[in-house]
Amino acid sequence: MSEKKLKTIFEKIWDNHVVKHADGYPDALFIDRHFIHEVTSPQAFDGLKKRGIKVFNTSRTTATADHNVPTKDQHLPIKEALSRHQVETLRKNCSEYGVDLYDLGHPFQGIVHIIGPELGLTLPGMTIVCGDSHTSTHGAFGNIAFGIGTSEVEQVLATQCILQYKAKTMKIEINGTLGKGVVSKDIILYIISKISASGATGFFVEYAGEAIRNLSMEARMTICNMSIEMGARGGLIAPDEITFNYIKGRTFAPQGEKFDDAVEEWKKLTTDEGASYDSILKFDAADIAPMITYGTNPGMGMKVTDRIPTLNELKEISEQTSFTKSLEYMGLEQGSSLLGKSIDYVFIGSCTNARIEDLRMVASMVKGKTKAKNVEVWVVPGSKQVEEQARKEGLDKIFEQAGFELRSPGCSACLGMNEDKVPAGKYCISTSNRNFEGRQGPKSRTFLASPLSAAAAAITGKVTDVRELV
């Protein structure tokens, strides 16, 4: 009799969802929840129409408008033609195919990766996909969540399955206690700076260790959100009591005895002791400091008190050309410090950091203070529910007194797709996930940082070590 194979949590969930397996071919994987939005779904629905087929399972598909929507005057008709067309097309498709849509004005509308968890649609042990790379966010609940392309969106709409090769497994442990002013965004920026923007390519990452277990669910979502920024297929964290307490009572989560039964099943979602990974990395929480990026990919990051590397300090010769190009784009010098660097914009939002905890964090930093005159600050909540909660707690008043503009939910200045763009040549400290060239608008310059660090910069008008203010 053969011994039972020890499995990681990733392997357990994957194997539980394989509909068909054949050696040498991708697995047919069943998908529990499919999120769609206005940007990557139109072509997929067009494909269904051409083939004359329906959405296979509308109850497992959830739509919202988020990427290309205005965050000002959201109650008015959309002015920008492309955005208006995309949202109208989403409305038409969802109506025609019977898909639930949380449209502009709906109390559940918001960034797709924020509304899933807050509504209880995201649950442990699931497989979750969306036509958006940061679908990895949902992995914080102990599930397999990943972004897919438009042709794959059509595939899932048509069959509720997707063809995928099984990823390799990586475990990243963060042990010890975080220092003052260090939050989850700093953890993930630190990891990416250590292993590079391609260091986890081909892997599904499981985050573990004392520092991870001590994080709230919203902080865990930030970690998993940026897994894709180091090349990973996705990231996940084993569910625990913090997870279960977060889920309990949410709109679409199991209720009463069904919730209790579900928890008993969710508790089984752990990596077997002795199970092997393809790669294991360990880091000390004490070594993590407030982080900031200086280049044009998330791997080009450093402790805010460090200096930008020089060409001679780069480990790989192949990195030199992109490094030089990045610094030219950013208008920065190798070997220089960013501390005290004047900035023009602060953006607090995105699927990485637009939850109520993020807004509370910012409010606690700026209460009783006023933004620097040279800085424009946008605070964009991740959902209508986050916005309403912020107003209920009086955070809107704190932001108003500080000179921060609180807007309506949307992806906003995370990407230069909507009206919220940073002007050319201007510097923005952003709580989003990508600092690519032109990501926040043509020739805009982005520094990625935590909500705390962004709030500190808004008050001082420059890159600041947040530890000086907390």
**DSSP codes joined into one string, 251-312:** TTS--THHHHHHHHHHTT-SPPTT---SEEEEEEGGG---EEE-SSSTTSEEETTSB---GG
**What pLDDT score does 1 carry?**
42
- Mark whether 391 and 447 lie in a shared domain: yes
Domain with 244 in it: what CATH number?
A: 3.30.499.10
Residue that is last in its domain, among 289, 318, 346: 289
**DSSP structure class, residue 307:** B
- Mark whether 245 and 362 lie in a shared domain: no
314-360 pLDDT tens trace: 877 667 889 999 999 999 999 999 999 999 999 999 999 999 999 99
Number of domains in the chain: 2
Cβ atoms of 111 and 354 within 8 Å: the answer is yes
- Mark whether 31 and 135 lie in a shared domain: yes
- Mark whether 209 and 308 lie in a shared domain: no
The pTM (predicted TM-score) of the whole model is: 0.97
- Cα(451)–Cα(365) distance, integer angstroms: 9
Residue that is last in its domain, among 289, 306, 336: 289
- Mark whether 308 and 270 lie in a shared domain: no
Q: Which residues of the chain have pLDDT under 70?
A: 1-3, 317-318
- Mark whether 285 and 163 lie in a shared domain: yes
Q: Which domain holds residue 297?
A: 292-468
Cβ atoms of 271 and 446 within 8 Å: the answer is no
Pairing of strands 279-284, 61-64: unpaired
Residue that is last in its domain, among 226, 260, 289: 289
**What pLDDT score does 79 carry?**
87
Average pLDDT, the chain: 96
- Mark whether 438 and 411 lie in a shared domain: yes
**What pLDDT score does 313 carry?**
87
**What pLDDT score does 76 carry?**
86
- Mark whether 11 and 112 lie in a shared domain: yes
**What pLDDT score does 3 carry?**
67
